[in-house]
Structure 1
Amino acid sequence: MKPIFAYTALASSLLFTAAVNASDRKDDYIKTLTGLGYPAPEANELVHIPPTMEDLEQSDMHPELKRVIRRGHDLFTNTQQLRGENVFNNMNCSSCHLGEGRIPFSAPVWPAAVTLPGFRGKNDHVNNLEERIAGCFTYSMNGKPPAYGSDNMLALSAYHQWLAKGVEVYPEKPIYGRGFPAPERPEELSYARGEQLFSDKCSVCHGEDGQGLRVAGQTVFPAPWGDQSNNWGAGIVRINTAAGFIKNNMPLGQPLSLSDQEAWDIAYYMDSQERPQDPRYTGDIKETLEKYGPTFHKRSRYGQVRETDGKVLGDHANTGEKDFLKPDTVRPRTFE
């Protein structure tokens, strides 16, 4: 069994659009999205249909380049093959970036290839594509990235750039479907409602205890919290990011089926659960919050008191499966 996160109906539909006549592709693509309830692109937005792996096979690119891009695709959809070396939880890249990283409103990865190098507030310096990928390994996969310039890092970068084929670098137009756009935050969020909603709508895949589902040692559905999930430095621990992902993509195969309130309540509950420590942890939760509370963690529950039991979230030294806190890739860049 290939351990690729299952396609949604949306993914299948959008992969199909790549096969139609080029002149009709964009219209069909937008029609598919709006038919599912997603907003139509604004007149000034950049709409890009990422090429498929079938497109790659039909291209006249060098056979060796095709092989490297295929390797990148394989690593992206089955990152668990790097378990114990670069990945220390049950996540694949495609656990968050659904549909092979191609799907709009599910943080499609091709924009990174055309907007980087760029400044990133998370680490307060200019990042290139490899460093952005390294961040996903460090935080979302609670791991240690492949070395910069290594075969695996090159393959992943090549796959990102293949998906961006035909898009100008540093596009001036805003990108349609980028990221996990969150619905407007409701006035009140409820842990109790989120817990019940998770049990009713999410646990069938992710388990009542949030540990996900693995079959024959392969991840089928990822863990939304706990030692097998992302750590406290991952983007999805921010409630707005989690709400955007949930609203636009969950339950799997039923995008936009939850109300805005339901998506936010589930995100609030999910991000009120423990997970491995933020690699930027200084050894003291208050000191770490002084550094990152005004920026990254201002939208997370890190360092906050959980109302059900009084626990201060993130106040621990647990690093999950790995035996280190911070890989050497988490470092400042000064250009001096």
Structure 2
Amino acid sequence: MKRYYFSAAGVLFSMSISAAELPDRQAQLPSVAKEANAQYLMPSPLSSIPKGEFGDKVRKGYQLFVNSQQMRDTYVGNELNCVNCHMNAGNKANASPLWGAYMAYPAYRKKNDKVNSFEERIQGCFTYSMNGKAPESGSEPLVAISAYSYWLVMSGLMNQFGITGPVPEMTDVELLKGGNREDFPLPETVTSKLDQKELTMLPGRGFPKLAKPELAYSVERGEAVYQAHCQTCHADDGQGYKMANVSALPPLWGPQSYNWGAGMHRVNTAANFIYENMPLGKSIQLTVQQAWDVAAFVNAHERPQDPRYKGNVAETQAKYHQHEGFYGKPSSINGPELLGANAYPIFPVSKQSKQ
């Protein structure tokens, strides 16, 4: 039996949790029902980022977010950029925007059984979604991405409530914590309208929860959906396209995509994202059934190994993959071989670095 104590929104929680209650620590991205006529935050334009040291951090965070490949072989181990999943530079509602995520941390996560700061949440993204290596605590990439995330949400809140003036600056230490804490500095105009719980659940945060399909999702039907709606951008082999040897449209499976520990390898998480945001520029074009089917097709392919793998696929599957996914299972694409048995390397060195 494990007992956890943590504070969020000024309230102390005590949780007694047995190992049996935590069979799967691979936390999924939040998904809630989409609100009709929801008012989404509208952060200020990038041109309004101030000059000076703080503004430089915000701009650096934006640059790293939209062009994560500049961290390849240092912290990034595949051909993805953060913006591939957090669209419009992390600013798009219902595509897990940074302005929603920042206010949700610190938060308890089953994934590592502890209260995670925003910094630690970003580190997890590098480890799993980017199939890379988590930047060191307090390092420039973590400070910069935190600064950019903070600037988005604070400027958005100030715009929503008619607060003029520059976004208040924060120290690196404070930026890395996140906004879900009682000592997080917010204008009184904001706190008089929204309590801490409401701030952690801003409309548009995460991916909207998709209804269950009428039929059990099908890899075979998903392949037909992929060919009709997805392969134009992601290629018939799912490896995307490059321009000037830089990935322009991301690979969805194989050695250069997200690994078996990333949240997107869950069929339900991928379905939520795909329905709302894909095809790119033409979202909400697929039916609910099509979104589930193509999510299954994408995630029924082999990809890089789960970083928590200790040499036994069955044990990893039993401990971390008790959800809607294909790790440790056969698929019609992969044949009788269990997915994960021939997974690609974690944090591989790129061909450019070898040259």
TM-score tier after normalising by the smaller chain length: 0.7 to 0.9
User: Are 1:292 and 2:320 counterparts?
Assistant: yes
- 1:262-301 equivalent positions in 2, closer than 5 A: 262-294=290-322, 298-301=323-326
CA distance in 1, matches of 2:296, 2:318: 22
Contact between 1:227 and 1:321, CA under 8 Å: does it hold in 2?
A: no
Aligned length: 276
Residue of structure 1 equivalent to 2:274: 246
- Deviations along 1:16-52, whole A, 9 cap, x unmatched? xxxxxxxxxxxxxxxxxxxxxx75246xxx7422233
Alignment pair present for 1:175 and 2:168: no
Residue 45 of structure 2 aligns with an amino acid whose one-letter code is T
Matches within 5 A, 1:92-103: 92-103=81-92
Partners in 2 of 1:269 and 1:192 — Cα distance? 7
Q: Matches of 1:214 and 1:316 in 2, distance apart?
A: 26
Q: Is residue 181–residue 241 contact of structure 1 (8 Å, CA) maintained in 2?
A: no
Shift of 1:217: 2.0
Provide, for residues 94-129 of structure 1, a one-character-per-residue CA deviation record: whole Å limited to 9, x for no partner: 011000100011110122222211101222211101
Q: How far apart are the structure 2 equivalents of 1:73 and 1:215?
A: 21
Deviation at 1:320, TM superposition (A): 5.0
Find runs of 4+ consecutive structure 1 residues off by over 6 angstroms. none
2:49 to 45, 56, 59: 56
Partner-residue secondary structure (3-state), 2:103:
helix
Q: Is the 8 A contact 1:183 1:244 kept in 2?
A: yes
Q: Specify which structure has the higher proportion of strand.
A: 2
Q: Which letter does structure 2 place at the counterpart of 1:136?
A: C
> Structure 1 residues 317 and 274 mapped into 2: Cα distance closer, same or farther (>3 Å)?
closer
Instruction: Return 314-323 or 299-308, whichever deviates more.
Output: 314-323
Shift of 1:227: 0.3
Sequence identity, in percent? 42
Which of these residues, 251, 260, 269, is aligned with residue 288 of structure 2? 260
- Mapped to 2, the partners of 1:281 and 1:307 lie a distance apart of 23
What is the CA-CA distance between 1:301 and the residue it aligns to? 1.2
Distance in 2, matches of 1:155 and 1:315, equals 37
Q: Distance in 2 between matches of 1:320 and 1:281?
A: 10
User: Partners in 2 of 1:272 and 1:278 — Cα distance?
Assistant: 15
Aligned pairs for 1:108-127 (under 5 A) are 108-127=97-116
Within the candidate set 326, 344, 349, 1:318 is matched to 344
Deviation at 1:196, TM superposition (A): 1.2
RMSD of aligned alpha carbons: 1.8
User: Normalization by structure 2: what TM-score?
Assistant: 0.74
Question: What are the ranges of 5 or more consecutive residues in structure 2 without an aligned counterpart?
Answer: 1-33, 159-178, 181-195, 350-355
